[in-house]
Every structure is written in structure tokens, then in C-alpha cells.
Structure 1
């Protein structure tokens, strides 16, 4: 399995709720820069948090890649999403190439869990950072970090 973890681009500092925060102009540029690293990749799905900034990030990536399938919105990709639920979902996916568009602290903790088997060493993910993880299975401690790009 190949797993790409993308933190959303820079978002406006305030909105009526955290979930409603939109990408800034700079955030859109960051996302396009990160999306360029995914061109030509055989993604099987793009999964995104329901938060506006993550949906906008996923849509920019989808358009950049010409990815035909719709974005799959999942509730466990929110900032404080359930890591156990994420692992259960990923374990059921088999040998696929997935892109997850999400937030801190979840993205750093999920990467740490997949790499080290625990969340005590979160991977540093700035806005629009893109991590590439590989492994036979998406289980705690069973994947390795192939690349980490900061925009």
C-alpha cells in the first residue's frame, strides 16, 4: 500500500466555526505546489475531512491531477479524528494508493502511528506538507516514510 498524507493549505484565521475556515490565496498556491508531486501517480481514491479547507484542498488536487472519481468525505479525518477508525479503514483497503487530506494534529499522529506504532513522535506537517508512506499493510508500526515535502 502507498499512502499519501496531505495537510490542507493555509486557511483563514477566523470564520464562524473552525470547520468553515477557507483556504487563503497563499494556501491555494501551497496546495498546487504539493499537488504537482502527485502528477502521474496511480491514485485509487482521494479521501478528505469534511472541513471546508480540506475539501477545497482535495478539490484543487483532484482538478490538478484530472482525477475522475469523486472525493470521498470521511468524518475521521478531522483535526481530532479517531486514529483507531482510520487504521481500521486503511487496513481494509489492501494494496491501493490513497491520498488522505486532513489536519493537524491528526495527520502528524497518524503518520507516527503508522511509522512507529505510537503517536508520541508526530511527524511535523506544515500547511500543505505531503508525506509518502509505503508498506505491505497499513498497520501500526508497519509502514515507512519514503518522502516528506513541505511547501
Structure 2
């Protein structure tokens, strides 16, 4: 099983609510650079945070890849989500792309690689990490690549 974790692209600094912040032009360009690294990968589904900037990021990736399946919006991919809860939800996802936010993505990667949250993975906007393992269990996955546009 492969898990790709993509942090959303650069977003506007302010909006009425954090969840409503949109991608900047630069953020869209960042996302397209990261999406190019996913071309030809065996992607089964894209799970995405309900926040606007993550939705925009996932839609850009979906279009860039010609991925025909719909995006799957899940409430457990927000910045404040609990990585341990997310791991339990990944078992039936197949090869999956997660589109989410810091600090969640850094902590989730740490949990999948090391089995704990004490070494969060640095993730800039539009950073993409590729993990592989038999199952998405804490401490059971291997880091294959990390891309920071």
C-alpha cells in the first residue's frame, strides 16, 4: 500500500474563517509542481479536508492527473485532527492521496514512520511525501520520497 500526503498550496493569509482561505496564484503553481510527481502512480482515491484551500489543491491534482473518480471529503483531515484516529481510517483506502494541513500532516507522517508524534515531518506548502507499507499502522511505513517545491 502507498500513501501520499500532500499539504495544500500557499493560501491567502486571511479570510473570514480559517477554513475559507483560498489558494494564491503561487499556491496553485506549487500544487501543479507537486501533482506532476504523481503522474503514473497507482492512485485509488483522493481523501481531502473540507477546508477550501485543501479542496482547491485536491481538485487541481485531480485535473492534472486526469483522475476521474470524485474527491472524497472527510472531516478527519483538518489541521486540528488527531493522527491516531486518521490511521485507523486508512486501512481500506488502497493507494491513497491525503490532502490536508499542518500540523496534522507532519504528525501523521511521524506516527506512520516512527510510531509516535515526537518527530513531525517538516512540510512546506504543497510538500508531498510518499510512504509505503503493508498496512497503514503506526511505525510500519517507510518513507520513499519527500518533495518540497
Q: Can you list the C-alpha shifts for 1:35-82, whole angstroms capped at 9, x where unaligned?
A: 000011120000000000000000000000000000000001000112
Q: Residue in 2 aligned with 1:139? A: 137
Count of residue correspondences: 149
Secondary structure of residue in 2 paired with 1:146 = strand
Following superposition of structure 1 onto structure 2, how do residues 63-78 of structure 1 map, counting pairs within 5 Å? 63-78=63-78
Secondary structure of residue in 2 paired with 1:5 = strand
Give the TM-score normalised by the residue count of structure 2: 0.98
Q: Residue in 2 aligned with 1:105? A: 103
Consecutive aligned runs of 4 or more in structure 1 exceeding 4 Å deviation: none
Instruction: State the distance in 1 between where 2:91 and 2:26 align.
Output: 35
Instruction: State the distance in 2 between where 1:54 and 1:66 align.
Output: 18
Q: Residue in 1 aligned with 2:48? A: 48
Instruction: State the distance in 2 between where 1:122 and 1:128 align.
Output: 16
Instruction: State the distance in 2 between where 1:132 and 1:101 align.
Output: 12
Q: Residue in 2 aligned with 1:29? A: 29
How far 1:130 moved relative to its partner?
Answer: 0.2
How far 1:91 moved relative to its partner?
Answer: 2.4
Q: Can you list the C-alpha shifts for 1:117-151, whole angstroms capped at 9, x where unaligned?
A: 00100001000000000001100000010000001
Instruction: State the distance in 1 between where 2:128 and 2:136 align.
Output: 17
Secondary structure of residue in 2 paired with 1:10 = coil
- Segments of 5+ residues of structure 1 without an aligned counterpart are none
